[in-house]
């Protein structure tokens, strides 16, 4: 399943859920607040900018934002919110595409680095971030912690979320560190369902740190969320901040 097939026009049309889900104020506002702080008044580059969920409010905060995005339908949705002067976008893959200029901040939110399905591509993503950053610049990644402790031996799948009208389950290939997320959405009668699937390569936090080191980064911080909660063995996700040394 190619990424272009996943992020097609139909997905782009259904992606934005204003006021709920990943667009809920309690989810979005802390991320924007923290990213604005980390940018420190400098320009920011978002890998996989999508429909502008984060880029649009961040730009409204006065942070100059540029995006890289593979999906043209997602860019079309972004253009309904901001023109190419407000948020310029380079069409391409976040592991290889180059945006003009140098940035104080590069960021990847909401598990997006896991859309790259090989370790080599994920390492190249770090190297691409490093190419865009000025000395002292930061690369920020929001990512889930693999939940293999919830996977009983011999069981290939886990239900990670269930609510009226929706069930989310993941199927694992632990040999390749691959997981496919299955999203079942039911109609009001509960008789018909739509299935969406997306493949990912999960990354352990320590593995992520090694990828950063290979690209010339030092880890600056790791928290359980955008508000700065402590990262523990029970945390289900993390926000990790890496920095290019100022004397690089």
Q: What pTM was computed for the model?
A: 0.91
Min mean pLDDT across 15-29, 70-84, 133-147, 225-239 is at 15-29
Q: For residue 196, what are the β-bridge partners? A: 183
Q: What confidence score (pLDDT) does residue 138 get? A: 98
Mean of all residue pLDDT scores within the chain: 92
Q: Judge contact between 143 and 111, C-beta under 8 A.
A: yes
Element containing residue 10 per DSSP (H, E)? helix 9-15
Helix (H, G, I), strand (E, B) or coil at 117: coil
The domain spans of the chain are 3-146+203-243, 148-199
Q: What confidence score (pLDDT) does residue 220 get? A: 98
* Phi, psi (deg, nearest 5) at residue 30: -60, -35
d(CA 239, CA 219): 11
Residues 141-165 pLDDT 10s: 999 999 888 888 888 888 888 988 8
The CA-CA-CA angle for residues 5, 10, 14, to 5°, reads 125
Q: Among the residues of 118-202, which ranges form H helices?
A: 119-132
| Paired sense of beta strands 133-144 and 237-243, if any | antiparallel
Q: Does 2 have pLDDT greater than 60?
A: no
pLDDT band at 63 (very low <50, low <70, confident <90, very high): very high
Q: What confidence score (pLDDT) does residue 180 get? A: 93
Helix (H, G, I), strand (E, B) or coil at 4: helix
Q: Residue 61: how many CB atoms within 10 A of its CB?
A: 13
Residues 169-226 pLDDT 10s: 999 999 999 999 998 989 877 678 888 888 999 999 999 999 999 999 999 999 999 9
Question: 235 is written with which tokens?
Answer: 């945390």
Question: 198 is written with which tokens?
Answer: 């997306």
Q: What confidence score (pLDDT) does residue 125 get? A: 98
d(CA 179, CA 237): 16
Q: What confidence score (pLDDT) does residue 104 get? A: 98
Q: Which of 18, 19, 21 is nearest to 166 (CA)?
A: 21
69 or 151: which leads in pLDDT: 69
pLDDT band at 3 (very low <50, low <70, confident <90, very high): low
Instruction: List, in sequence order, every beta strand (DSSP E) within 48-98.
Output: 65-69, 89-91
Task: Name the percent of the chain lying above pLDDT 70.
Answer: 97
4 or 132: which leads in pLDDT: 132
| Residue whose token pair is 């429909």 | 51
Q: Which of 133, 91, 142, 88 is nearest to 112 (CA)?
A: 142
CATH for 3-146+203-243 (3.40.250.10, 3.40.50.150, 3.20.20.70, 3.40.50.300): 3.40.50.150
Q: Judge contact between 139 and 239, C-beta under 8 A.
A: no
């Amino acid at each position: 399943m190619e990424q272009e097939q996943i992020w097609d026009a139909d997905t782009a049309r259904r992606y934005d859920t204003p006021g709920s889900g990943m667009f809920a104020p309690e989810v979005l506002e802390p991320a924007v607040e923290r990213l604005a702080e980390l940018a420190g008044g400098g320009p920011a580059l978002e890998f996989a900018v999508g429909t502008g969920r984060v880029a649009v409010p961040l730009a409204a905060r006065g942070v100059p934002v540029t995006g890289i995005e593979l999906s043209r339908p997602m860019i079309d949705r972004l253009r309904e919110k901001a023109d190419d002067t407000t948020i310029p976008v380079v069409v391409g893959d976040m592991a290889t595409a180059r945006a003009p200029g140098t940035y104080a901040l590069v960021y990847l939110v909401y598990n997006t680095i896991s859309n790259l399905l090989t370790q080599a591509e994920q390492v190249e993503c770090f190297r691409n971030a490093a190419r865009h950053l000025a000395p002292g610049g930061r690369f920020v990644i929001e990512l889930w912690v693999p939940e293999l402790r919830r996977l009983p031996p011999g069981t290939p799948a886990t239900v990670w979320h269930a609510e009226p009208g929706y069930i989310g389950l993941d199927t694992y290939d632990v040999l390749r560190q691959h997981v496919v997320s299955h999203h079942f959405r039911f109609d009001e009668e509960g008789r018909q369902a739509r299935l969406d699937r997306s493949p990912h390569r999960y990354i352990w936090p320590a593995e992520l740190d090694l990828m950063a080191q290979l690209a010339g980064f030092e880890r600056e911080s790791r928290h359980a969320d955008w508000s700065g909660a402590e990262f523990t063995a029970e945390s289900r996700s993390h926000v990790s901040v890496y920095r290019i040394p100022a004397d690089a």
